[in-house]
Amino acid sequence: MRLPSFALAPLLAVTCLAAACRDEQAGPRQQAPRIPAPTRLRALEAAPADLTFRSGETFAGGAVVYLGSKVTPEKAAPGTQVRLAHYFQAVRSPPEGYGFFVHVVDPASGAMLSNADHEIQGGAAPLASWPVGKVIEDVHSVPMPGTPARVVLGFWRGNSRLPVDDANAHDGSQRMLGPPLGGAAQELPEYTVPRVSQPPTLDGVLDDAVWKQARPVVLRRSFDGSAPRLRTEARLVHDGAFLYVAFDLDDPDVWGTLRKRDDPIYEEEVVEIFLDANADGRTYNELQVSPHNVIFDAYFPARRQGMDRSWDSGMTSAVKVRGTLDDASDRDEGWSVELRIPFDRLAEVPHLPPRPGDRWRFNLYRLEHHDRRTVEGQSFSPLFVGDFHALPRFGWLVFE
């Protein structure tokens, strides 16, 4: 796991505990092109003529110029790796002690879609070492987002960022505006949740007639939307007071080692639902259940910030294992889960009970550890980045 640097915010470094950060890289990994790190600083006489994004904006009173970037290829399928090359020039001796950050963000909200922080030229070219007048090239890769995005970049030291000289050239927090990424937004899926008069019995067995009123959805790989190795089916209903969620999972080895409420069950096998009731892209709740029926729940006032594990969702749950729990020597069939979530405990619920036509943002997830090692993330709405908290990629929950 790679925790965000100050490039996110000082608060995030404190409050983004493991419980909120484990899935920053969850899901199948795409193999990034390997770019050998140079053994010494590499300087050019000029930036390439074929930049796909040109800037010329400056940092620190004109000391450092951001010339622009080249995105290769400019158009790529969501989740596939694209090569970013950034070009800078020191006009006078640059300041010391600054690290480099690169974020891929949602242009509207500034929410993080991907954290690509790294050392320039693999650590061979720290800012203070740049020769005046020469051009410094930095090359790395990021997954192409599944929604229109923007690269923002800059330099940080301690609790501050190197100032961007023109207010119109940064995002309001000293993150220099770089190239856009992504084409047309991938369509966000919707789930219409029916209102039922008779709620299901919470026993983990999905044989209640009420579940037949709900549309089944099969989760996809969170990183690229492709078919996962193991099947996960989900259904949702509500009765005005509670949201009910059912998961049915194929799993040849059902296991878990954690037993206490709010333990880091996201490090093992788990199902999850994230709910942004007022669809503001900020406040949301995260709820998880493990095969041992251990609950983790948390409230977030902003993406990955201010995580409150003292918040009690009031959720109740039941699990049924089809096999032998925690026994790797035999072959299990899978496990099923039923959740009952009180609407009146959730953050920023617009109407109680939800009105017909109300639209919430939400996502469903599964984390599977194949052979108890290789992690695969699944989701209702594919994210195309390795972050279950990618709020702009949440789907829509529509109430009947």
Domain shared by 156 and 236, yes or no: no
Mean pLDDT of 252-263: 97
CB-count burial class (<10 Å; 0-12, 13-18, 19+) for 36 = exposed
pLDDT(10) > 90: no
Domain shared by 260 and 393, yes or no: yes
For residue 365, give the amino acid letter: Y
In-domain check, residue 247: yes
> Cβ distance 247 to 204 under 8 Å?
no
What does the pLDDT look like over 298-335, one tens digit per residue? 999 998 899 999 999 999 999 999 999 999 999 999 99
In-domain check, residue 12: no
Of the chain, the percentage scoring pLDDT greater than 90 comes to 80
Would you list the DSSP string of 253-302? Answer: S------STT--GGGSSEEEEEEETT--SS-EEEEEE-TT--EEEEEESB
What CATH number is associated with residue 159?
Answer: 2.60.40
What does the pLDDT look like over 75-114, one tens digit per residue? 998 888 999 999 999 999 999 999 999 999 988 778 788 8
Nearest to 385 by CA among 12, 82, 27: 27
In-domain check, residue 66: yes
- Give the integer Cα–Cα distance in Å for 57 and 69: 12
Nearest to 243 by CA among 221, 270, 210, 220: 210
Domain shared by 156 and 94, yes or no: yes
> Cβ distance 312 to 287 under 8 Å?
no
Mean pLDDT of 43-59: 97
What does the pLDDT look like over 158-168, one tens digit per residue? 999 999 999 99
Mean pLDDT of 166-186: 90
Helix (H, G, I), strand (E, B), or coil: what is residue 18? Answer: helix
In-domain check, residue 20: no
Split at pLDDT 50, 70, 90, the class of 336 is: very high
What does the pLDDT look like over 226-243, one tens digit per residue? 999 999 999 999 999 999
pTM of the model: 0.72
Q: Quick one: pLDDT at residue 20?
A: 41
Mean pLDDT of 377-381: 97
Q: Quick one: pLDDT at residue 39?
A: 65
Domain shared by 155 and 263, yes or no: no
Please enumerate in sequence order all residues whose Cβ is within 8 A of that of 286, keeping only pairs 6 or more positions apart, or say none: 20, 272, 273, 274, 296, 297, 298, 300
In-domain check, residue 6: no
pLDDT(3) > 70: no
In-domain check, residue 13: no
Domain shared by 168 and 299, yes or no: no
Domain shared by 140 and 174, yes or no: yes
Average pLDDT, the chain: 90
- Dihedral angle sign, alpha carbons of residues 175, 278, 218, 273: positive
In-domain check, residue 290: yes
pLDDT(142) > 70: yes
Chain-centroid distance, C-alpha 160: 25
What CATH number is associated with residue 283?
Answer: 2.60.40.1190
The total number of structural domains in the chain stands at: 2
The answer for 101, left when phi > 0, alpha when psi is -120 to 50, beta otherwise, is beta
Nearest to 388 by CA among 372, 376, 370, 396: 376
Read off the tokens for 193.
């949740």
Q: Quick one: pLDDT at residue 187?
A: 85
Domain shared by 196 and 148, yes or no: no
Domain shared by 233 and 307, yes or no: yes
Provide the domain limits for residue 143. 43-181
Angle at 133 between CA 129 and CA 135, to 5 degrees: 75
In-domain check, residue 19: no
> Cβ distance 146 to 55 under 8 Å?
no
Split at pLDDT 50, 70, 90, the class of 37 is: low
Q: Quick one: pLDDT at residue 106?
A: 85
What does the pLDDT look like over 200-222, one tens digit per residue? 999 999 999 999 999 999 999 99
Domain shared by 161 and 241, yes or no: no
Please enumerate in sequence order all residues whose Cβ is within 8 A of that of 386, keeping only pairs 6 or more positions apart, or say none: 23, 24, 25, 26, 27, 29, 114, 143, 222, 223, 377
Split at pLDDT 50, 70, 90, the class of 267 is: very high
Q: Alpha helices, DSSP H only, in the chain?
A: 10-15, 18-21
Q: Quick one: pLDDT at residue 182?
A: 83
Domain shared by 103 and 172, yes or no: yes
Q: Quick one: pLDDT at residue 147?
A: 81
Domain boundary among 153, 181, 209: 181
Domain boundary among 164, 181, 198: 181
Domain shared by 230 and 347, yes or no: yes
Mean pLDDT of 141-153: 91
Domain shared by 130 and 249, yes or no: no
- Give the integer Cα–Cα distance in Å for 141 and 70: 11
CA dist list (Å): 255 to 263, 327, 371: 15, 7, 11
Domain boundary among 181, 209, 225: 181
Q: Quick one: pLDDT at residue 36?
A: 55
